[in-house]
A = this chain, B = another copy of it.
């Protein structure tokens, strides 16, 4: 399967209904406000099912009904990339650090930098990767 490029640290915040980023924190009943303290949620390696290369996933918040959005930090080390994947209600990426590539299936590869925000519509097949370092 064709993938969205490869190679170079990209750190991003991803807000998406379920999918690759599975938040670890209990969502509770959704009716009570809650504060999740910095450092209280375990950091995890990105699953080999969803990523190639070294990827770290730090959950930020789970989806709490009626909201369907969950959020997490995903850090791609050089050479890391995601598998092609979809999100049922779309996905927003906020690039917080580094330089990377994003791509929609069949479309051109686009370079992204810190501060860029990417929207992928529902059911679009998308990939995220590090840009390779300059030769």
Contacts and interface: CB of A to CB of B under 8 A. Distances in A.
B68 A90 contact: no
Contacts of A92: 61, 67, 69, 71
Contact of A90 (B35, B66, B115): B66
Interface string A83-103: 000000110101100000010
A115 B33 contact: no
Given A35-B110, A64-B121, A66-B90, 5 more contacts: A35-B112, A60-B94, A66-B122, A68-B68, A69-B92
Given A32-B121, A33-B118, A124-B33, A89 B66 contact: yes
Contacts of A116: 35-38
A104 interface: yes
A118 to B, nearest CB: 5
B71 A38 contact: no
A71 B94 contact: yes
A126 interface: yes
